[in-house]
Every structure is written in structure tokens, then in C-alpha cells.
Amino acid sequence: MTAHAHHLGTGLAGTFLRRAVLAHSDGAWEAAHRVARDVSTQLATAHPDDASLYCGAPALAYALHTAGHPAYRSALETLDETVAGLVRTKLAAARERMATGQPPRMREYDLISGLTGLGAYLLHRRTHPELLEYLLRYIVRLLLQPVTVGGRAVPGWWTSDSPNGQPDQAWPYGHGNFGLAHGVAGPVALLALCARAGFRVPRQQHALVHACRLLEQWSSSIPAGGTAWPETVTADRWQQGHPPPRLRAGPHGATAPQASPAPCNWPPSPATAPPDDATPNTLWPPASPTPPNSAHSTTRLSATAGRGSLWSSPRRPPTPLPAARSQDRCLSCVTCWPPTSTSTR
């Protein structure tokens, strides 16, 4: 019941989001508030195996943020900290997984269930810029650092799961996914949106350029016009290389002859890497914590944030990650329902 109530696709959180968006046009906020009261009676999970942008506390936080009503400000402040704790937990788990050299599960990084979706929330809220920087560093490493599967080098976003998000003997080496919801296009989109908003980390531009070139290599034209990518790629197909572009038929129905598959340009060559706009070349925060009384223990926003750089100059490292924590939160304990008349517009 809890997961259903706070699911954007099938639960009350999605119903509330619709009501709130409509209320901006028709002013019927009481209908949105009624759904919000119903949602508040359910526990919003923040467990790392269940909570995501589409489910649990982050989904409810996203809906409340999108609603943009002052009556939900107190609940959002509490949920911001809950989501921050979830991000810390997931980043810590991702760091441990990367240290082993194993490929990630799909739910570690994808938009629907993983860190990409939580990063999108952090980008919109702007309440934890230091966590967003850590998350962007993680994505850069995900895009640039290969993993080995069955003795073959594959991209760091290659998942050990089958396309349904679960291990399957029919997919012994997992798969590569080019989609936006569950594949590499999600992290690429977040990295690009953050760059446009002024949130930049070392080698971010390099990761974007390489990922876009990889997408171009695997693209093909379609007869009706436009470009398409394979939804998923097996390890064998990745080893064989991407298929040649399919050319549209000419005025007399003639098409170009099919060529042999081109070898896949992976892993990226450091010698041909494009210059990056950020230094030093660090993809992950230092393992040792910074002393609390250190001059580098806090992060300051630059006055030019949004115009190219988030961090002040000289660049200071972000605050070390606090201990991970996750728990279920009952919004009825932290929010006054129903909203008062003075906060209803």
C-alpha cells in the first residue's frame, strides 16, 4: 500500500501531481489539498531498494516541489533531508561497487529507480549543491571508466541485469541500454542539463563528448526519416560492433550496399581525449574526511552560478559525505494538515 500510494505512475502521488498542476490554471487547490491529506496518512519509504524519483519519499517530494504551493514548504524541507540521506546511501553503495570492478545493477543509476532520477530532483531543488557535485562526479566516472564482463571491456554503465531490471540466466553478461528511462541516455541528459545550469565537475565535458560520440556510432537512420538506436545491446553484439547506418531509399528505390559492422570505439583513448574545462582531474571525493575546523570544510556558491561555474574561485572541495542514513517518514508527523486558509491561494 505504501509503495502504491507514493508512486507517480500508479499511486496517489501521481494523482496529487495532476491536481496540483491543474490548480495552477483553475485555482482548485482544495482538490489538491484533499489528495495531499490522503497521501500524508501513508508512510513514505526512503529505503534504498525501494525509494526513487518515481516511488516513495523522493516521488512525493518531486510532486510537492512541482506543485509549488506554500502550504507544502514545511513538508518539502523535511523531505529534502530524507532524499539527501538516500542519495548519500546510494552513492556509498555505488562507490563500494565500483571498487570491486563489477558492473552496476540497473537500479543503481537509471532515471526511474536510481541516482540519475535523484540527481534530477537535486538539480531542481538546489538545496544540496554539494551532494549534486558528488553525484555528477559519479556519473562522469560511470561514463568514462569501463568494467570487465566475461573478459570483455564494456562501458561503466553496462548493467548486470536483464532488460527487465533483474538478473536472468538468459542474459549471463547483462546488457547495454541506450534508453532514457533505464539506460545511458538518462545520465547523459542529466550531465548536460547540469552543465547548462552551471553545475560543473572535472572531466564533465569529456564524458559528455565521449558519450555522445558513442551514441552517434550506434545510431542509424530509419526509412521514415529521423534517427534511431537499439534499445538494448548484448555482450556479443557489442563485441561485433555497431551496425552501419541504414540509408533511406533514393528517388528510384536504390539504396547503398550494406557494409560490415564497424568496430566499437571502446574504451576511450586518453591520448585522443578532448581537453576538459575543469581541473584537477578528480572523479571522486577524497576518501579521508576533511577536519571540521579546516578552511576547506564548507562549499560556497559562486556569484556566477548559472553562467558557467557553480563553485567559487579558488575552487574549494565539497563538504565530506556524512554517515549514510535512511528511514521511513510519516508526513502526518511533520506537516500540519489541512493547510491553513492563509497559506491557500
What is the pLDDT tens value at each position of the chain, 345 positions in all?
Answer: 444 799 999 999 999 999 999 999 999 999 999 999 999 888 899 999 999 999 999 999 999 999 999 999 999 999 999 999 999 999 999 999 999 999 999 999 999 999 999 999 999 999 999 999 999 999 999 999 999 999 999 999 999 999 999 999 999 999 999 999 999 999 999 999 999 999 999 999 999 999 999 999 999 888 888 888 899 999 999 988 866 554 444 444 433 334 444 445 555 544 344 444 433 334 444 333 333 333 222 222 222 222 222 222 223 333 333 333 333 333 332 233 333 333 333
First to last CA, the chain: 31
Burial class of residue 18, CB neighbours in 10 A (0-12, 13-18, 19+):
middle
- Residue 136 — left, alpha, or beta (φ > 0 → left; ψ -120 to 50 → alpha)? alpha
Q: Are 322 and 302 in contact (CB under 8 A)?
A: no
Place of cell 550496399: 257
Give pLDDT, residue 222: 87
- Give the pLDDT of residue 223: 87
Phi and psi at residue 235, to the nearest 5°? -65, -40
Q: Indicate left, alpha or beta for 308 from its phi (over 0: left) and psi (-120 to 50: alpha).
A: left
Name the nearest CA neighbour of 52 among 131, 121, 123.
121
Helix (H, G, I), strand (E, B) or coil at 143: helix
Q: What is the DSSP letter of 331?
A: G
Angle at 253 between CA 251 and CA 255, to 5 degrees: 105
Strand partners, 314: none
What pTM did the predictor assign?
Answer: 0.74
For 220, the enclosing helix (H) or strand (E) is strand 220-221
Cα(245)–Cα(234) distance, rounded to whole angstroms? 19
Residue whose C-alpha cell is 534504498:
48
Neighbours of 330 (CB within 10 A): 12
Q: Residue type for 260, please?
A: S
Q: How is residue 28 written as a grid cell?
A: 482548485
